[in-house]
Amino acid sequence: MAVYCDQVGYRPADRKTAVTTAGGRFSILRVQGETAHTVFEGAAIDRGMDSASGDHVYTADFSEVTQEGVYYVQNGAGETSHRFRIGQDVYRALQRDLTKALYYQRCGCALEERYAGEYKHSCCHTEDAALWEDHSVLRKVQGGWHDAGDYGRYVSPAAVAAAHLLYAFSLFPESFGESLNIPESGNGVPDVLNECRYELEWLLKMQDDEGGAYHKLTAERHADFIMPEDDKDPFYLFPVSSMATADYAAVMALASRVYRAYDAAFADRLFDAALGAWSWLEKHPQYVGFHNPASCNTGEYDDDCDLDERLWAAAELLVTTGEEKYQDKLTELLSADLTKTDFGWTDVSGFAALAVLTDKAHRASEDSAEDLRKAVFAEADRLTAVARESGYGVAMEAEDYVWGSNMVVLNRGMLLVLAALLAGDGGAVYEQTALAQLHYLLGTNAVDYSYVTGHGEHAFQHPHNRPTECDGIALPMPGWVSGGPFKTPADAVGIERIPAGTPPMKCYVDHAMCYSLNEITIYWNSPAVFLTAYLNRK
């Protein structure tokens, strides 16, 4: 196939483009029943060589087609694309499934058939966990979401995933009316907050007596490919790190604001947890890192700098309380050499910008806000230029195809959304560029895959995910985002199947053993929830 499009679809008024490797005239065909007829023709625009894919590509612009319906593209060589839909609501089911996917990660409870359907399973990981450094100390830390295709639970990734959801909800609440069919549905609280609370209740257990957050809760080694309820290995609480504690302070402060309108007592617990973590940070002004003990192979999530995490914590606590000491810390950290625009687990600085710049009460100083605003627009403009340069419209350069590259794409989409919100009427370019990131994820890419399970005619089907491999069900749950292409695959199957010199965008295999190319994680789904919630807001 050499015509690539968003396999889910396009909203009527948006820019619509497909990418083709053949020039000449292209047609858009509308499918009605058994037949298809041409509704639009145009000349494909020669974009030359696209370095990330190694393809000579052409753009087929069919923005003029606005009528709701099912379509496909045919290029000058007679090749056709997958089908897609044009409709105002094309991303609704997608947003629902992306969010519901997190429910399937719930740990420490059974997934009942009436919510999980055929993906039901019995209760997992209910034993108390021992401190890694003193196995005689046991703690009750049941709950939370499995991080990814493994059964570990890690504080920083959890905080980041929850923050994506909490910001999605607080900025675009009108996009979250739909029921997710989870145990709490119908309790008067939007389901995204019900689902997120499952993670937050677990996070509340991950704080030690001094306020520090344990870096992670995992077994010593990753489980074999077994169902979660069959994994009986002991779980350990690994030492507190400053990165986890700062992320923890930040997300707890943010969550205390979001949940206050629904449950003041819960909001108080979250806020106290945030204060406890902040006082730990004050007592430990130096970086306290985490590295896996030699015998341990579960996720490390190490980070050699905790300033962006401290920046985020200061921003959230400032926005929550208006207190001067947080402003002082924010001012101090804003002068450090930080990016201020990222939303991943290694660099959370963009959340400080989100907190400050979307705060309706403007609690941060004008200087701080201006500093962050400048950084957001500088990065949004850079990304817009990169996307314009890319034959696929994606804001990625060849070197950006790292492990979990789809997270980079989605986080960049988030930053573009933030710029669109701040730019107001002048934000159309940022919005359309943000949308192009979603189109890339959903099929406008050089491997022709929709990187979301169950969404698109050619969606990936073999995520590296233990339950998916063991449950005997042919298809994975819908709504999972793949990690995506990685220019230097790190798993044996990926290394074997991808010849050296393959262009970065093509370094992908839909294979369950490809943990460096095709795993799923909570924090690869959560920015996609943010992006789709933005698009579904009206």
Binding site for Zn ion (CB under 5 A): 107, 124-125, 228
Give the residue carrying structure tokens 């950006």: 400
- Category of 305 on φ-ψ map: left (φ > 0), alpha (ψ -120 to 50) or beta: beta
- Interface with ligand 9MR includes 521 (CB under 6 A)? yes
Is 519 a known active-site residue? Answer: yes
Q: Which is nearer to ligand 9MR, 152 or 228 (CB)?
A: 152
The amino acid at 176 = F
> Which of 178, 201, 389, 510 is the catalytic position?
510
Q: Are 479 and 532 in contact (CB under 8 A)?
A: no
Q: Give the binding-site size for ligand 9MR (rule: CB under 6 A).
A: 11
Q: Which long-range contacts (CB under 8 A, 24 or more apart) does 473-477 make?
A: 473/118, 473/119, 477/101, 477/104, 477/119, 477/453
Shortest distance, position 259 Cβ to Zn ion, whole Å: 24
> Which of 50, 150, 448, 491 is the catalytic position?
150
Q: Are 515 and 150 in contact (CB under 8 A)?
A: no
125 binds, among ligand 9MR, Zn ion, none (CB under 5 to 8 A by kind): Zn ion
Shortest distance, position 346 Cβ to ligand 9MR, whole Å: 7
- Interface with ligand 9MR includes 510 (CB under 6 A)? no
Is 510 a known active-site residue? Answer: yes
Interface positions, 297-356, toward ligand 9MR (CB under 6 A): 299-300
Q: Which is nearer to Zn ion, 129 or 357 (CB)?
A: 129
Q: Which is nearer to Zn ion, 161 or 422 (CB)?
A: 161
300 binds, among ligand 9MR, Zn ion, none (CB under 5 to 8 A by kind): ligand 9MR
- Interface with ligand 9MR includes 519 (CB under 6 A)? yes
- Interface with ligand 9MR includes 231 (CB under 6 A)? no
**By CB under 6 A, which span of 16-24, 25-33, 371-379, 515-523 interacts with ligand 9MR?**
515-523
Q: Which is nearer to Zn ion, 242 or 298 (CB)?
A: 298
Q: Are 224 and 151 in contact (CB under 8 A)?
A: no
What CA–CA distances, in Å, run from 402 to 69, 290, 319, 396, 504?
Answer: 36, 22, 33, 10, 9
**Cα gap 250→256, rounded to integer Å:** 10
* 139 to 168: interface string for ligand 9MR, x by CB under 6 A: --------xx-x-x----------------
Cα–Cα nearest to 501, from 396, 398, 361, 349: 398
Shortest distance, position 186 Cβ to ligand 9MR, whole Å: 33
Burial grade of 208 (CB within 10 A; 0-12, 13-18, 19 or more): middle
First-to-final CA distance of the chain:
34
Shortest distance, position 532 Cβ to ligand 9MR, whole Å: 21
Shortest distance, position 134 Cβ to Zn ion, whole Å: 23
Shortest distance, position 129 Cβ to Zn ion, whole Å: 12
Is 121 a known active-site residue? Answer: no
Burial grade of 361 (CB within 10 A; 0-12, 13-18, 19 or more): exposed
Task: Reduce the DSSP state of residue 276 to 3 states and report it.
Answer: helix
Is 150 a known active-site residue? Answer: yes
Residues that bind ligand 9MR (CB under 6 A): 147-148, 150, 152, 299-300, 403-404, 515, 519, 521
> Which residues does the annotation mark as catalytic?
150, 464, 510, 519
